């Protein structure tokens, strides 16, 4: 027997309609590629999204077809989020930091029909325009005055022309909530990129989950600046959550340096920000060097890769900014866990609380986790046993786009590729990527813990720890380090820094100082490259 | 083209599983009918719920069948919430304040198979046991030691015996999220009660919505005491939201007087409470009379009927407790709106902010509202035009149980029976029930505004304003008032109190002082009875 409540599909368009009706005067502020600071209300943004939805229909975009973007965080990008998905097509956010060959591969694989791009990426688009197979229409995300005088791109259209050519009397269509809404490719460090195809249902449910008090905690009194790019797992869902809650949004465009971000935080009274650790390094360095404080920012969400404890300490103790450590994956929409304290932690000292906040956190409702041993057996949640982490839930991937790579699931669970512990309170702590784990004499050593210790040394700018082959122990940890500018640091001094901070046998066998550690398109360290280069380092030493 | 995320149904059992796994040590505290204060963890409560689910199966309860309760707020009632719905049956929470004839009518209409009841209600159950047609099994919610020595109820079972007779190796079944989960009858002041049949989907989505920062704002650091009964629209969803977020729950049982509530608030460090205005009157009176303060309570949710502004002021200014004015209906699961301020209100004076908080609030995401004029035309959101309020959304009723009363919808919208304004920021303000509105010379007068003014007079304990027939104006407002004990208050003094507080022509024509105003089973004033009794009062006066 079914319940007798209304059947209303969970559609992305309903998020924008809610913002328009209940928060019509709320602002969306953008630092534009054109150079200025631009402000628009949700009411205007919703009307422009409807105009763009009409324009897409006029361009022949049909339900389920992919519309690609190569764009910074900005209001026009947000309008496409709603215009494309809301009208039943699929928004495909391409990563502009990828090599042109990869952009061509991904656009072809996705069979993108239209490509919208910020003027910053004109050279990239010119490089790929003659090579991509399915893109019929190119649209520059700017106004007539800023269109390129001449371009190699045939029939280049102008975003504002499309908006101007249509009125806003468009009704968002109603359809099955399981329809595809958006597509992101994973930045796989090996193999071809694979697409994750979200649905309207998975997106709306994920939006509910991340807006909750013990996740990103978003309200109509917040001003959110997503530094995390809209081409990286939909900026962790913030353009959706902001509409659900009526929060003000501030988009940084291309200005991701410490100075630009700090000035925008202060000018727009930002209360919540979100991004990967590398971005915060630049911001903290700028604030520190200039003796500044944050006037309104009270919380920063750090994810994408683990937040070094030293960075959390700087934010929490130096600047009174609460750090919300969150963990997820492209395959999880992306949020899985958030390191928010419980009632029993309220009475703890700040240091003890930070130890809790330094974990990857506890699962938001909807996400189910387990850790398994080498034979697939479930391990207990005691904070000690570590095993491969698997997840499931209504916003977790079932299979990759076009079935690429076969079913990724194991007995209905998605293997994350992370190795983790979970404690009795449900706090999950990632000790390694399963492919990065160091197997020394049959025991596992977590490379991330070693990297965090190295990063806590004030002379270290960046550190990677890899498994180096070893004649006796099979593998031993090797530390690859970038020193801060103008400091002296020896191998011996750094290794001595580990004493008392970790079991003696976990201490790295050696240190290699380098000028830079290679980073992937989303800012993650490419440790497989380091392994190729330095994996035999300890063998050479005999 | 569908998205490629996991298909997992939204089931009520998943809320309890989340609480068990991630908040297993969190407490649920109950003041029991047996007289003591009882404490259990989510881990234990989940295990007992599984045992009870097995017991239900052993009693022959099948998917979709109704299992009724007559019970206070307590952990055993909560175990039934999950055991019954989680195993695929339908939880039917009967209102023990109803007349036995009504209980029999509703139990027969629902075709209840089993009835669980608190010992308080043994006399009521004995009065109906021989009359109800479908209930085969009666279970007293207590342990063996507290079972009645003799009872007129044949084969009376004992709750703790059922728990003890089963182990907890039960797996919650997976089924379609649209299956019915629970059933509540509306306390219609006219006509037969009608059943609202919730689904797992509607319940889980409603749970997400009410836990959000701009609704009830529930976190794992909160301790929630729901005064609103679990037999009244599932205690507004709090037993579900507490599990979703891992909050501590405190159940007051039968102790709803000011002293019992206050002592429980303090002993258990309650941070959030929720209930109807009449309960808070008793609490405030007790706190005031004894010169007490609230040590931990920071927010109280007031709904069910409008919160008198004087009560809000007492909580906010006298006791530093934030009042969250919320509005909903049994037909809405129940929450539709919450009067939470926006960013722009933060800089306002407390008085101005309270004017915003005194509205019924803005819609939570998922609920769509409109107000219409007499011909069904949409009225604008200007805070001035008032019309009948209609709603829709995934936790709004589609039809009543067994199709009772035909389709309640108008063009896909549910008419709430309330008359309201909505302002440009989306704040909805109920001026009347459509059947209570006073039509004076073709103009509408809102009875609730007049009641609120009367209630602001320190000598008034309770006030109802009704439409009395009038020879010249068709209808005019008549005020029915209960004075506070031991005060003097005249008709003239009270009418003078309206001067300057409302348009002169809205001033009531007369005042009738009474000893008590009749209340319905959920504590609402029965204004239709007052109209029967006093509707001709002004005609008599000539």
Strand partners, B460: B483
Q: What distance in Å separates residue A248's CA from the closest CA in chain B?
A: 9
Among candidate residues B444, B459, B469, B473, the one labeled active-site is B444
Residue A334: partners with Cβ closer than 8 Å, 6 or more residues away: A233, A236, A237, A303, A328
Q: What distance in Å separates residue B95's CA from the closest CA in chain A?
A: 20
Catalytic status, residue B505:
no
Distance (Å, rounded) from C-alpha A155 to C-alpha A159? 13
Contact A223/B at CB under 8 A: yes
**Residues A245, B90: C-beta atoms closer than 8 Å:** no
**Residues A5, B397: C-beta atoms closer than 8 Å:** yes
Q: Which of A511, A498, A517 has its CA nearest to residue A538?
A: A511
Structure tokens given for B4: 């490629």
Residue B268: partners with Cβ closer than 8 Å, 6 or more residues away: B29, B223, B225, B248, B250
Kindly state the helix (H) or strand (E) to which residue B93 belongs, with its residue range: strand B90-93
Task: Give yes or no for a cis peptide into A55 (omega within 30° of 0).
Answer: no
* pLDDT value at residue B449: 84
* pLDDT value at residue B522: 67
Return the number of other C-beta atoms located less than 10 Å from residue A13's C-beta: 25
Nearest CA in chain B to A179: B2
**Residues A3, B179: C-beta atoms closer than 8 Å:** yes
Contact B201/A at CB under 8 A: yes
String of DSSP letters for B255-292: --SHHHHHHHHHHTT--EEEE-HHHHHHHHHHHHHTT-
**Residues B248, A343: C-beta atoms closer than 8 Å:** yes
* pLDDT value at residue B49: 98
String of DSSP letters for B51-72: HHHHHHHHTT--TT-EEEEE--
Whether the predicted pLDDT of A542 surpasses 70: no
Distance (Å, rounded) from C-alpha B419 to C-alpha B436? 9
Distance (Å, rounded) from C-alpha A419 to C-alpha A431? 6
Structure tokens given for A25: 């005067």
Using CB atoms, pick whichever of B24, B223, B394 lies closest to residue A5.
B394
Half-sphere exposure of B482 (CA within 13 A, CB side): 12
ipTM: 0.89
What average pLDDT score do residues A342-354 get? 93
Distances (CA, A) of B202 to B333, B362, B398: 8, 20, 11
Distance (Å, rounded) from C-alpha B165 to C-alpha B186? 36
Backbone phi, psi, residue B476, to 5°: -140, 150
Name the residue with higher pLDDT: A210 or B485.
Answer: A210
Q: Is A496 exposed, middle or buried (0-12, 13-18, 19+ CB in 10 A)?
A: exposed
Q: Which of B6, B205, B414 has the highest number of chain A CBs within 10 A, making it the mutation to test binding with A?
A: B6
Q: How many residues comprise chain B? A: 542
Strand partners, A444: A439
Among candidate residues A79, A316, A331, A388, the one labeled active-site is A331
Q: Is B500 exposed, middle or buried (0-12, 13-18, 19+ CB in 10 A)?
A: exposed
Helix, strand, coil distribution of chain A in percent, nearest 5? 35, 25, 40
Q: Strand pairing of B180-185 and B195-199?
A: antiparallel
Q: Please say whether the beta carbons of A15 and A45 come within 8 A.
A: no
* pLDDT value at residue B445: 85
Kindly state the helix (H) or strand (E) to which residue A272 belongs, with its residue range: strand A272-275
Distance (Å, rounded) from C-alpha A501 to C-alpha A488? 22
Catalytic status, residue B439:
yes
For chains A and B, count residue pairs whose Cβ atoms are closer than 8 Å.
221
Give A315's DSSP letter.
I
Distance (Å, rounded) from C-alpha B118 to C-alpha A327? 45
Distance (Å, rounded) from C-alpha A379 to C-alpha A529? 32
Name the residue with higher pLDDT: A48 or B504.
Answer: A48
The alpha carbon torsion through A409, A412, A417, A421 (nearest 10 deg) reads -170
Q: Please say whether the beta carbons of A304 and A228 come within 8 A.
A: yes
Whether the predicted pLDDT of A367 surpasses 80: yes
Q: Give the percent of chain A with pLDDT over 90.
A: 82
**Residues B5, A199: C-beta atoms closer than 8 Å:** yes
Using CB atoms, pick whichever of A1, A25, A199 lies closest to residue B3.
A199
* Interfacial A residues in 336-355 facing B (CB < 8 Å): 340-343, 346
Distance (Å, rounded) from C-alpha A224 to C-alpha A226? 6
Distances (CA, A) of B490 to B497, B510, B542: 11, 11, 21
What average pLDDT score do residues A333-342 get? 97
Give A366's DSSP letter.
T
**Residues A180, B4: C-beta atoms closer than 8 Å:** yes
**What residues of chain B score a pLDDT lower than 50?**
none
* pLDDT value at residue A523: 72
What average pLDDT score do residues A355-379 get? 95
Q: What residues in B contact A394, CB-CB < 8 Å? A: 5-8, 10
Q: What distance in Å separates residue B424's CA from the closest CA in chain A?
A: 8
Kindly state the helix (H) or strand (E) to which residue A467 belongs, with its residue range: strand A460-470
Distance (Å, rounded) from C-alpha B459 to C-alpha B488? 8
Give A506's DSSP letter.
G
Contact A245/B at CB under 8 A: yes
* pLDDT value at residue A115: 98
Catalytic status, residue B469:
no
Q: What distance in Å separates residue A453's CA from the closest CA in chain B?
A: 29
Res. A190 pLDDT band, cuts 50 70 90: low
Give A172's DSSP letter.
P
Among candidate residues A296, A439, A443, A505, the one labeled active-site is A439
Distance (Å, rounded) from C-alpha A206 to C-alpha A286? 34
Q: What distance in Å separates residue A444's CA from the closest CA in chain B?
A: 26
Among candidate residues B44, B331, B388, B475, the one labeled active-site is B331
Residue A155: partners with Cβ closer than 8 Å, 6 or more residues away: A137, A138
Distance (Å, rounded) from C-alpha A303 to C-alpha A51? 35
Q: Give residue-wise pLDDT tens across range B156-196.
A: 999 999 999 999 999 999 999 999 999 999 865 556 789 99
Contact B386/A at CB under 8 A: no
Q: Which of B361, B354, B302 has its CA nearest to residue B337?
A: B361
String of DSSP letters for B97-115: TS-HHHHHHHHHHHTEEEE
Q: Please say whether the beta carbons of B296 and B222 come within 8 A.
A: no
Nearest CA in chain B to A270: B343
What average pLDDT score do residues A375-387 get? 94
Distances (CA, A) of A64 to A81, A95, A175, A401: 14, 21, 12, 13
Catalytic status, residue B490:
no
Q: Strand pairing of B112-117 and A37-41?
A: unpaired
* Interfacial B residues in 163-182 facing A (CB < 8 Å): 176, 178-181
Give A39's DSSP letter.
E
Secondary structure of residue B338 in the 3-state scheme:
strand
Distance (Å, rounded) from C-alpha A367 to C-alpha A487? 45
Q: Give residue-wise pLDDT tens across range A228-287.
A: 999 999 999 999 999 999 999 999 999 999 999 999 999 999 999 999 988 898 899 999
* pLDDT value at residue B448: 85
* pLDDT value at residue A316: 93
Q: Which of B286, B316, B305 has its CA nearest to residue B455?
A: B305
Strand partners, B390: B370, B415
Q: What distance in Å separates residue A48's CA from the closest CA in chain B?
A: 20
Contact B59/A at CB under 8 A: no
Q: Which of B22, B111, B197 has the highest number of chain A CBs within 10 A, making it the mutation to test binding with A?
A: B22
Contact A4/B at CB under 8 A: yes
Q: Please say whether the beta carbons of A87 and A172 come within 8 A.
A: yes
Q: Strand pairing of B414-422 and B428-433?
A: antiparallel
What average pLDDT score do residues A298-323 get? 92
Contact A204/B at CB under 8 A: no
Among candidate residues B439, B490, B505, B532, the one labeled active-site is B439
pTM (2 decimals)? Answer: 0.90
Distances (CA, A) of B453 to B240, B435, B500: 36, 20, 11
Q: H-type helices in A270-384, by residue range?
A: 277-289, 309-313, 319, 350-357
Q: What residues in B contact A246, CB-CB < 8 Å? A: 214, 342
Res. A154 pLDDT band, cuts 50 70 90: confident
């Amino acid at each position: 027997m079914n319940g007798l409540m209304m059947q209303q599909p969970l559609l992305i368009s309903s998020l924008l309609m809610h913002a328009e009706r209940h928060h019509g005067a709320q602002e969306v502020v953008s630092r534009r590629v054109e150079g200025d600071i631009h402000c628009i209300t949700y009411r205007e943004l919703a009307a422009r999204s409807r105009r763009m939805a009409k324009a897409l229909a006029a361009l022949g975009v049909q339900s389920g077809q992919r519309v690609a973007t190569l764009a910074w965080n900005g209001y026009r990008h947000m309008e496409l989020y709603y215009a494309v998905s809301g009208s039943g097509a699929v928004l495909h956010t391409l990563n502009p930091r990828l090599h042109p060959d990869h952009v061509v591969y991904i656009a072809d694989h996705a069979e993108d029909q239209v490509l919208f791009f910020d003027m910053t990426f004109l050279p990239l688009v010119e490089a790929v325009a003659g090579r991509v197979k399915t893109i019929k229409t190119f649209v520059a995300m700017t106004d007539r005055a800023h269109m390129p005088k001449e371009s190699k791109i045939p029939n280049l259209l102008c975003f504002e022309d499309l908006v101007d050519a249509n009125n806003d009397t468009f009704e968002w269509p109603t359809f099955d909530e399981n329809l595809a809404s958006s597509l992101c490719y994973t930045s796989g460090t090996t193999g071809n990129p694979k697409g994750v195809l979200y649905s309207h249902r998975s997106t709306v449910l994920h939006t509910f989950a991340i807006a909750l008090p013990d996740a990103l905690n978003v309200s109509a009194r917040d001003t959110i600046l997503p530094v995390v790019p809209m081409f990286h797992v939909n900026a962790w869902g913030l353009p959706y959550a902001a509409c659900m809650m009526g929060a003000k949004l501030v988009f940084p465009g291309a200005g991701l340096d410490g100075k630009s971000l700090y000035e925008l935080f202060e000018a727009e009274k930002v209360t919540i920000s979100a991004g990967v650790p590398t971005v915060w390094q630049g911001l903290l360095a700028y604030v520190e060097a200039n003796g500044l404080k944050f006037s309104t920012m009270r919380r920063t969400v750090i994810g994408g890769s683990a937040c070094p404890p030293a960075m959390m300490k700087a934010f929490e103790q130096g600047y009174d900014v609460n750090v919300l450590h969150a963990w997820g994956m492209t395959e999880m929409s992306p949020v899985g866990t958030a390191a928010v304290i419980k009632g029993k932690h309220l009475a703890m000292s700040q240091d003890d609380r930070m130890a809790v906040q330094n974990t990857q956190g506890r699962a938001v409702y909807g996400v189910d986790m387990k850790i398994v041993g080498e034979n697939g057996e479930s391990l207990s949640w005691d904070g000690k046993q570590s095993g491969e982490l698997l997840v499931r839930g209504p916003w977790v991937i079932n299979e990759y786009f076009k079935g690429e790579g076969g079913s990724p699931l194991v007995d209905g669970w998605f293997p994350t590729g992370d190795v983790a512990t979970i404690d009795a309170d449900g706090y999950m702590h990632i000790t390694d990527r399963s492919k990065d784990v160091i197997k020394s004499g049959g025991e596992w050593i977590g490379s991330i813990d070693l990297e965090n210790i190295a990063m806590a040394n004030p002379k270290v700018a960046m550190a990677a720890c890899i498994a180096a082959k070893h004649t006796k122990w099979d593998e031993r940890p090797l530390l690859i380090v970038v020193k801060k500018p103008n400091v002296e640091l020896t191998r011996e001094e750094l290794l001595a820094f580990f004493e008392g901070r970790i079991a003696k046998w976990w201490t790295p066998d050696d240190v290699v100082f380098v000028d830079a550690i290679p980073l992937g398109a989303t800012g993650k360290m490419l440790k497989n490259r380091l392994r190729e280069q330095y994996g035999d380092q300890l063998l050479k030493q005999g």
